[in-house]
Every structure is written in structure tokens, then in C-alpha cells.
């Protein structure tokens, strides 16, 4: 057989495309039948197959799932394939894959009867079909059966298995953070993986809250207890060979969260006070002796807002934060802490 080659294309939205890029000479492709298998858990419980024997295979992909993709290259039933087949060998004939159930050998270059007409020696590898081969018997084949029989068949030397590089596919944001209200946020889960834990972590790495095994596709975040600040939301989920009972196998995903809604409320209050003058009185006009403090706080809030907007834009799409990015979040957290001290001391913004 030729040396098979596969390529993986992740450019299509929502799909992975596997292509056969094997270099065939004239007529060689007709001598090869290809089954494509894929799994999101390394063929532990998830099994998928495409037996179309095409030149490419399109696999629906979910955000952040890890895919194991295997192409099984088999001989076709063709007189040019002068190969002795033994029990367990798989061949393609008339767009159907067959497995040799008897001891063999059978050689397509000399055999008279095709697999389709030789039920004594051959059985179709089709989901739902019965099969008995050696000690294995089933009344209805599963995709997992076909995969296991195909992988076992490689030990006979007939097919050649090819594995693409294991990939983690990201089509959409796996976790989407949205603001619901002041100090209230929501994390929407776009992946099918089991969520093991979610933590709210302060910029100084203090774990403020930890929720084990949250349920559902929406994870509420309530910062009321801590107020404005610079936080990270750490989400642990089970991917690949991970186990929910073994934390060091979890995949960790980090979302930066900068909350300044109380500072913005303070800014609005200060802005309203700076509009108050004798010609244009307002209900909550304060003594003009506080004007200096009000302007100072207003300038701090404005600077904080500008820094926050710039930082958030820099961190969009980055889910494993570097030390410099953590340092930036720390700087913002310290700015917010300083602002809280000033507003509390001056008593200008109530409990904000």
C-alpha cells in the first residue's frame, strides 16, 4: 500500500475538515479504502465513524473539545491487490467494508467469489448488522465495535492506521462573561464538558468563593460582598482523559473580570454635584468647600475607567493569563482600593 497522509483544516466555522493528501500514482487510490474515526475522549466512550471512503471528511466540532481523529487505510477488493488476507482483515468492496471471519488466507487476485457473495467467509462492517468472529459475537454492531475491530485488524498487517494530530478546536468563545447588573455577572457555558468548579479570585490571589460542581449552562457571579475590584473567574472543567474526582487532571480556564460600577455611580453623583451652583440649584447641592475633593475623585474615576477599558480590550481572547497580565490586573485592583479609601474618607459617595 501507499504511505497514507492526512491533513487537518480548522478554518471552517463549526467543523473540522480532514483531507487525504496521500500522493497516489495513477490508479492507486482505487486500491485503497479509508474509514475515518473520531472521538472527543480518546475513544473511551465516544465513537464516531465515516465510511464514505471519500477524499475528505467533515466533522462537526464543539468549542474547546479535544478531538482524536484516526484514518484507517484498508485494501479494496481488487485483483491488483495481490495480498493474502487472514481472519480480521478488512477490505472495501462496492462501497461496503467487509471483515474476514474465517481463518483464511483469501487473496483477491485469485478468488472467484466477492465478499458480498461469500457470507461464509466475509461479514459487512455496518452499524446494526450481526457479526461473529472468533470469540466476538454481537446481534447488532456498534460504532465502538467497528473501531475496535479495525484497530485490531492493524496487527494483521493489512491496513495502515493514520492518526492526525490531536487538536483542541475553538470555534466560539467557550465561556462568555456578561454583565447583568451592578456587581452581578453571568458566565455562559458554550462547551459540552462537565464543569468541576468555579472560583472567584481577588487580584491578590485570595480565593473569595469556590463552588464545586456547578450545574447548568449559566453560572451566576455575585460580587456584592466585595464590591468594585479586579478579579479573575477560574473555571475548571473535565476534558480529554480528565476525571472529576482528580483535580490535577482538570483543565483550567481563566476569565478576567474588572468591576467598577460603584466607582461609576460615584462619578455620576460627583458630576451632578459639580453642576450645582447658585444660578442653577439642585436638590443635593453641597458646600463649595468640597469642590477640590470632588474634582480629585472625579479625575481618579475617569482615569480608572479609561484604564479598565484599555485593559479589557487587551485581554479579550486570552484565557491563560501571563504574569505581566496578572500584574496589570493587580495594578487596577490597587487603583480601585485606593479610590475606595478616598471616597470613604471624604464621605462623598455614600456606601459606593
148 & 251 share domain: no
Q: Please, are residues 237 and 196 in contact by the beta-carbon 8 Å criterion?
A: yes
Q: What is the pLDDT of residues 28-75, one digit of tens each?
A: 899 989 999 998 888 889 999 999 998 888 888 776 677 888 888 889
Cell of 11: 478554518
Cell of 198: 468555579
235 & 334 share domain: yes
Query: Is 118 exposed, middle or buried (CB count within 10 Å of its CB: 0-12, 13-18, 19+)?
Result: middle
Is the per-residue pLDDT at 289 higher than 60? no
Q: Please, are residues 232 and 255 in contact by the beta-carbon 8 Å criterion?
A: yes
Q: Measuring CA to CA, which residue among 76, 69, 68 is closest to residue 29?
A: 76
Q: What is the pLDDT of residues 152-177, one digit of tens each?
A: 876 555 567 777 766 766 666 778 88
Residue 1 lies in a domain: no
- Choose one of 168, 185, 201: the last residue of a domain: 168
231 & 323 share domain: yes
Predicted local distance difference test score (pLDDT) of residue 317 = 45
Query: Is 224 exposed, middle or buried (CB count within 10 Å of its CB: 0-12, 13-18, 19+)?
Result: exposed
161 & 309 share domain: no
**Diameter over CA atoms, the chain:** 109
Helix, strand or coil for residue 52? coil
Q: Measuring CA to CA, which residue among 237, 238, 301, 240 is closest to residue 269?
A: 301
151 & 243 share domain: no
**Residue with more model confidence, 343 or 2:** 2
229 & 95 share domain: no
Helix (H) or strand (E) holding 229, with range, is: strand 229-237
pTM of the predicted model as reported, rounded to 2 decimal places: 0.55
Q: Which residues pair with 209 in a beta bridge?
A: 200
Placement of cell 480556564 in the chain: 253
40 & 55 share domain: yes
Which range of residues forms the domain containing residue 180? 175-346
Helix (H) or strand (E) holding 150, with range, is: helix 143-153
- Choose one of 151, 168, 185: the last residue of a domain: 168
Helix (H) or strand (E) holding 8, with range, is: strand 6-9
106 & 237 share domain: no
The rounded radius of gyration (Å) of the Cα atoms in the chain is 32
Residue 154 lies in a domain: yes
Predicted local distance difference test score (pLDDT) of residue 278 = 42
209 & 255 share domain: yes
DSSP string for 251-296: EEEEEEEEE-HHHHHHHHHHHHHHT-BTTB--TT---GGGHHHHHH
95 & 191 share domain: no
Q: Alpha-carbon distance 8 to 20, whole Å?
A: 9
Predicted local distance difference test score (pLDDT) of residue 281 = 46
- Choose one of 118, 136, 168: the last residue of a domain: 168
Predicted local distance difference test score (pLDDT) of residue 93 = 94
How many structural domains does the chain have? 2
Amino acid at each position: 500500500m501507499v504511505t497514507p497522509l492526512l491533513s487537518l483544516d480548522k478554518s471552517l466555522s463549526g467543523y473540522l475538515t480532514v483531507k487525504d493528501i496521500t500522493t497516489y500514482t495513477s490508479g492507486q487510490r482505487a486500491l485503497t479504502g479509508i474509514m475515518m474515526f473520531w472521538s472527543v475522549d480518546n475513544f473511551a466512550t465516544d465513537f464516531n465513524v465515516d465510511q464514505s471512503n471519500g477524499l475528505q471528511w467533515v466533522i462537526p466540532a464543539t468549542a474547546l473539545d479535544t478531538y482524536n481523529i484516526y484514518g484507517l487505510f484498508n485494501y479494496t477488493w481488487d485483483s491488483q491487490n495481490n495480498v493474502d488476507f487472514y481472519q480480521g482483515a478488512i477490505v472495501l468492496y462496492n462501497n461496503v467494508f467487509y471483515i474476514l471471519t474465517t481463518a483464511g488466507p483469501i487473496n483477491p487476485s485469485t478468488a472467484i467469489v466477492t465478499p458480498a457473495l461469500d457470507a461464509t467467509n466475509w461479514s459487512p462492517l455496518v452499524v446494526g448488522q450481526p457479526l461473529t468472529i472468533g470469540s466476538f459475537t454481537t446481534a447488532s454492531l456498534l460504532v465502538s465495535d467497528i473501531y475496535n475491530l479495525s484497530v485490531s485488524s492493524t496487527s494483521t498487517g493489512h491496513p495502515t492506521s493514520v492518526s492526525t494530530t490531536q487538536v483542541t478546536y475553538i470555534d466560539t468563545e467557550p465561556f462568555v462573561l456578561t454583565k447583568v447588573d451592578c456587581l452581578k455577572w453571568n458566565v455562559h457555558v458554550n462547551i459540552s464538558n462537565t464543569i468541576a468548579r468555579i472560583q472567584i479570585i481577588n487580584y491578590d490571589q485570595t480565593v473569595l468563593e469556590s463552588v464545586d460542581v456547578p450545574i447548568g449552562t449559566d453560572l451566576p457571579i455575585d460580587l456584592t460582598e466585595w464590591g468594585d475590584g479586579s478579579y479573575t473567574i477560574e473555571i475548571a472543567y473535565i476534558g480529554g482523559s480528565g476525571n472529576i474526582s482528580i483535580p490535577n487532571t482538570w483543565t483550567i480556564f481563566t476569565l478576567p473580570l474588572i468591576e467598577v460600577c460603584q466607582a461609576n455611580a460615584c462619578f455620576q453623583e460627583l458630576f451632578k454635584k459639580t453642576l450645582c451652583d447658585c444660578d442653577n440649584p439642585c436638590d443635593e447641592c453641597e458646600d463649595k468647600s468640597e469642590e477640590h475633593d470632588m474634582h480629585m475623585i472625579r479625575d481618579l474615576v475617569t482615569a480608572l475607567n479609561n484604564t479598565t477599558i484599555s485593559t479589557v480590550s487587551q485581554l479579550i481572547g486570552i484565557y491563560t493569563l501571563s504574569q505581566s497580565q496578572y500584574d496589570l490586573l493587580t495594578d487596577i485592583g490597587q487603583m480601585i482600593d485606593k479610590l475606595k479609601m478616598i471616597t470613604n474618607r471624604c464621605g462623598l459617595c455614600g456606601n459606593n
